Amino acid sequence: MRGVPVTAGSADKPPADCYSSADRKLMIWGQEVRRKLLGPLLWLMVKCRISADLLTLASLAAGLAFCPVYFFCKPAALGLLALHVCLDGLDGPLARYVGTACRKGSFTDTMTDQIVVAASTITLIVGKVVWVVPGACYIFIYTVVVAFSMIRNALKIPYAWLVRPRFFVYAWFAIELYVLPGSIDYVLWAFTGLLLAKMISGFVQIRRRL
């Protein structure tokens, strides 16, 4: 069960998600567009008793499966990561389709996303594709920014904008393996710098409010 339905939060119960004030509306709009475009598929999922929570769990499983499969078959591993992204894009629209979108679901979705971010990056570190320093900084700072964003939303001082580079980095995994070997560390450093700026500003604003 996903709890009490909710869209963008209310005055007394701020949204428990990691979206900034600027892109939450875009997120909701995107989910509504997908809900309308994928109506027949969502209807079939409902008929098959597939819930949004089940999709989130399947998305997590596909993302984590990337880790062991990477060492045996890289194309299959990238396919699993793509499946993770696709399933991650369906749980929100399905929850809205059946009217169960809520804070619990949003929180669960955010946590599964971060688990896959960390696990997939660690896999590339172990596989000696990503240098441990930018990889570790990326995981740590990204996770802190997501946590800070949720705290700021709870305190009703949301970020104006956020950087969530996971999809871009996932796509770069393929570029790193087949097009530009040795480039992913630079990509991680670039995004880590942007995330670091948001982490510092998040800390300052939370401290001021406390």
The domains located in the chain, with CATH, are 24-209 (1.20.120.1760)
Q: Got the DSSP string for 36-81?
A: HHTHHHHHHHHHTT--HHHHHHHHHHHHHHHHHHHTT-HHHHHHHH
* CB within 8 Å of 206: residues ≥ 6 apart: 148, 151, 152, 155, 157
What are the structure tokens assigned to 110, written together? 């955010």
Element (H, E) at 196: helix 184-209
Instruction: Quick: pLDDT tens for 166-191.
Output: 999 999 999 999 999 999 999 999 99
Instruction: Quick: pLDDT tens for 104-121.
Output: 888 899 999 999 999 999
pLDDT at residue 15, as a whole number: 61
Q: How much is the pTM?
A: 0.89
* Alpha-carbon radius of gyration of the chain: 18
Q: Bridge partners of 102?
A: 5
